[in-house]
Amino acid sequence: MTKTMISLAVGTLVAGLLAACGGSDGPVAVTTDTSVSNASMYFNRTATFAVCDQVGSSCASNDVTAAEIVAASGDGMTLIYSNSPKGEIGFVDISDVRAPKGLGTLAMGGEPTSVTVLGSQALVAVNTSADFVNTAGKLVVVDIATSKEVASIALPGQPDSIAVSKDGKFIAVVIENERDESFNKGALPQLPAGSLVIVDVAGAAGTWKTRTVDLTGIATLYPTDPEPEYVDINENNIAVVTLQENNHIALVDLASGKITRHFSAGSVDLTQVDLTDKRPNAVSFTETQTARLREPDGVTWISNTQFVTANEGDLNGGSRSYTVFNTDGTVAYEAGNTLEHLMASIGHYNDKRSDAKGNEPENAEFGRFGGTDYLFIASERSSVLSVYDLSKANAPAFKQVLPAGLAPEGVLAIPARNLLIAASENDDRSILSRSSLSIYQYQPAAATYPTIQSVNRADGTPIPWAALSGLTAAPTGALVYAVDDSFYASNRIFEIDTATKPAKLQKEIRITDPNGKIAALAAVLPDTKDPLTFDDTDLAALVNADGSINLDPEGIALASAGGFWIASEGAGSVNDASRPVLSANLIFKLSASGVIEDIVQLPAEVNAKQLRFGFEGVAEADGKLVVAFQRAWVGETQPRIGVYDLVAKIWQFMAYPLDPVSSPNGGWVGLSDITALGGGKFMLVERDNQGGPDARIKRLYNINLTGVANGATLQKVLVRDLISDLKAPGGQVPEKIEGAARLANGDIIIVNDNDGVDDNSGEVQLMNLGKILN
């Protein structure tokens, strides 16, 4: 497939999870390894370049662009990336690693599928096929200094991956001739067959000659249709080629053009994995998958006798892992379920991919930094790069994980400059995702990501988490509590120790209703039979058979009497038949163990105005609950701040004046979390629904409810504009800042909601802003 290639290489060190399973193809375990080297050196992101910021483009445009594969000039100062949707390559100046600048683009006259560099020239594989049957391509040679085409060499089909030998004598181009997935449900074989093209580099580019290596007849599954995917070359000029759909691997001697060895990529027995795409979502590492075909995509040599495959899967497989192979086809190491568990522990597990291929390891690369050999694995569906220390033979030791843009494809190591680049191809402004180039620097500093990592459950699997929404702090120490929202079923409260780096998610508390509080409330609600009105049937549907609850917890606060308050946002709008009311906005009083003790409702006349943008935050102070509504409801112009007297059991409401929309992408502005500060004061998160280059409003404001009459409009005071804080980690600004809390020492903590990694990179930034309140 025209997927992409990764040239990465990085390294850093210290604890985490180690995939330890020796050379077996069977089940594996996760352990911790602290024996890796260079413990003071880590990779940290310094900047992100949005491709829409390229010269001649605009991030205020909906035009789809991409950075899929990335290469660098010989001095490491200029990046060259392939932009398939635009049919061009782009150039970026990274002489300042904290301020990359676009240098312009060059049209390719087709679809660029891969790019690499030989000396002063960029080599671009370009697909010029008319369709899936009439395939064609070309190798375009570009002078990097002038950004001009030097030569074009015809290729006998649709190219994908490209690699250059270290001595500069050979170029290897995979001719994939990918299948038409809409024809016969994508079943193979589909001709014409793919192949490997060897370009002999001698003389001027226009005189280079090509040879074609026939790859048919070697694979067992579809011998007439090899569909080669990826290629890498070792120091002996042996090319390793993955035949992904065939679950096969070939070794080719580039000098002679002969296949010297080929073998099946084999299969893996996976245990403690989640294979079910649940609705609503719930991660459960309790399933087993036997004999799962690896179907490798990217591949990299780690020595002249071993290489690593990223087992993404495509047609019938995908083992969610990476594998170290010897050149005789034997397995030296299999990562098994460890990538899946790693993703769950850092909040990057994409549960909507559980029934498919999980995190989807897309590619692998090897590099040496500071005298240490490292392996790098890019997970397409979890949007991270995992880094492993290869100091110990046949036992990769996990070092760190790096956040990337949505769907990382190309990765490039620049050891001479201690840099790593990740190219993330997804570009869709409607879901706030812009294709990007992430820049990381190998430096003598602690790893800055992840910001939260969970401990293991009793069964040895990590506590899975994501979609954090709402935050509250313990009265002493550095503990905070968060909730997950309606992306997940059987909602939970998480206890997080922010005194550690990363913060340690050390406890999960399931919300349950063993005493039938929801059923009791349902019993007094009418059955309206009106799909636009919340009634007893809708309420009863919130309870699962095991007593756990499916809510939309958006806010959390500690209760003065012990336990928690949870603000659950209602689903649906009273004036929208396409989004009927399925639940009301409710406040739940929970015990410390998550048992529902009481339920607070809004007045009926307020519920009659419900829009789907309801409760977002809750706080308790002075015998009252204070809730923030996200947006204005039917017939209103401003969102409400609701105040509920716990003794008198009556509501009062004030109007909150939102800042006007200022994003070039439009959208809306609303409220998120609310935090009690004492003396009638509260801190609110105000944000727009935009991310990346379109983000404009991420702010903290204070309000004072002292003496404010029912129905009045509140005054607000700016505490902090968060945009600079959110840009500081070097990534794109996240959309949803949904949690804020004040620690006992006065520090303000914020966190973003990563939407359960659904159309989201999954990046979570838990930030300590310090003592920013006056």
Look up residue 256 and give its two tokens: 């002679």
In this prediction, residues 667-678 reach a mean pLDDT of: 98
The pLDDT > 90 percentage for the chain reads: 89
| Cβ atoms of residues 751 and 766 within 8 Å | yes
Q: What is the pLDDT of residues 170-207, one digit of tens each?
A: 999 999 999 999 999 999 999 999 999 999 999 999 99
Q: Where are the beta strands (DSSP E) in 397-476?
A: 397-403, 408-414, 419-424, 436-443, 452-454, 468-473
Ranges 257-271, 279-293, 410-424: which has the least confidence? 279-293
Q: What is the pLDDT of residues 126-159, one digit of tens each?
A: 999 999 999 999 999 999 999 999 999 999 999 9
Q: What is the pLDDT of residues 10-50, one digit of tens each?
A: 222 222 322 322 233 433 333 334 556 788 999 999 999 99
Cα 400 to Cα 47, 408, 435, distances in angstroms: 18, 16, 23
Q: Give the closest residue to 749 by CA, choosing from 566, 482, 493, 516.
A: 482
Look up residue 223 and give its two tokens: 């011998």
Amino acid at position 108, single letter: M
Cα 159 to Cα 325, 398, 697, distances in angstroms: 25, 34, 44
**Helix, strand, or coil here: 184?**
helix
Angle at 585 between CA 584 and CA 587, to 5 degrees: 125
Q: In the prediction, which pLDDT does 582 show?
A: 87
In this prediction, residues 350-361 reach a mean pLDDT of: 96
Residue 90, CB half-sphere, CA atoms under 13 Å: how many? 33
Amino acid at position 756, single letter: G
Ranges 119-123, 276-280, 629-633: which has the least confidence? 276-280
Q: In the prediction, which pLDDT does 535 show?
A: 58
**Helix, strand, or coil here: 425?**
coil
Strands 267-273 and 287-293: antiparallel
- pLDDT for residue 1 is more than 50: no
**Greatest extent of the chain over all pairs of C-alpha atoms, in Å:** 90
Q: In the prediction, which pLDDT does 507 show?
A: 98
- pLDDT for residue 665 is more than 60: yes
Q: Residue 688 contacts by C-beta under 8 Å, 6 or more apart in sequence? A: 661, 662, 663, 667, 668, 669, 670, 695, 696, 697, 698, 735
- pLDDT for residue 442 is more than 50: yes
Q: In the prediction, which pLDDT does 278 show?
A: 74
Phi, psi angle pair for 339, to nearest 5° = -65, -40
Strands 503-510 and 452-454: parallel
Cα 204 to Cα 11, 121, 171, 200, 558, distances in angstroms: 37, 11, 14, 11, 72
- Bridge partners of 439, per DSSP, are 47, 421
Helices and strands (H, E) in the chain, number of each type: 5, 52
Q: In the prediction, which pLDDT does 281 show?
A: 72
d(CA 373, CA 366): 7
In this prediction, residues 439-456 reach a mean pLDDT of: 97
Q: In the prediction, which pLDDT does 28 show?
A: 34
Look up residue 37 and give its two tokens: 């080297």
d(CA 232, CA 376): 14
- pLDDT for residue 389 is more than 90: yes
Handedness of CA 383, 389, 393, 395 (dihedral sign): negative
Instruction: Say how many C-beta atoms besides its own lie within 10 A of residue 663's C-beta.
Output: 18
d(CA 275, CA 30): 19
d(CA 224, CA 257): 19
Q: In the prediction, which pLDDT does 536 show?
A: 59
Q: What is the pLDDT of residues 606-656, one digit of tens each?
A: 999 999 999 999 999 999 999 999 999 999 999 999 999 999 999 999 999
Q: In the prediction, which pLDDT does 514 show?
A: 95
Q: What is the pLDDT of residues 59-116, one digit of tens each?
A: 999 999 999 999 999 999 999 999 999 999 999 999 999 999 999 999 999 999 999 9
Q: With 0-12 CB in 10 A as exposed, 13-18 as middle and 19+ as buried, what is 520?
A: exposed
Q: Where are the beta strands (DSSP E) in 370-418?
A: 372-379, 384-389, 397-403, 408-414
Handedness of CA 159, 163, 165, 169 (dihedral sign): positive
d(CA 700, CA 686): 6
User: Which uninterrupted H or E stretch holds 482?
Assistant: strand 479-484
- pLDDT for residue 280 is more than 90: no
Give the model's confidence band at 237: pLDDT under 50 very low, under 70 low, under 90 confident, else very high: very high
- pLDDT for residue 679 is more than 50: yes
Handedness of CA 376, 379, 380, 385 (dihedral sign): negative
d(CA 1, CA 740): 44
Q: What is the pLDDT of residues 510-569, one digit of tens each?
A: 999 999 999 898 887 766 556 555 555 667 778 898 889 999 999 999 999 999 999 999
> Which DSSP category does 340 fall into?
H
Q: What is the pLDDT of residues 357-373, one digit of tens each?
A: 999 999 998 999 999 99
| Cβ atoms of residues 523 and 536 within 8 Å | yes
Cis previous bond, 444, omega within 30: no
Angle at 412 between CA 408 and CA 418, to 5 degrees: 125
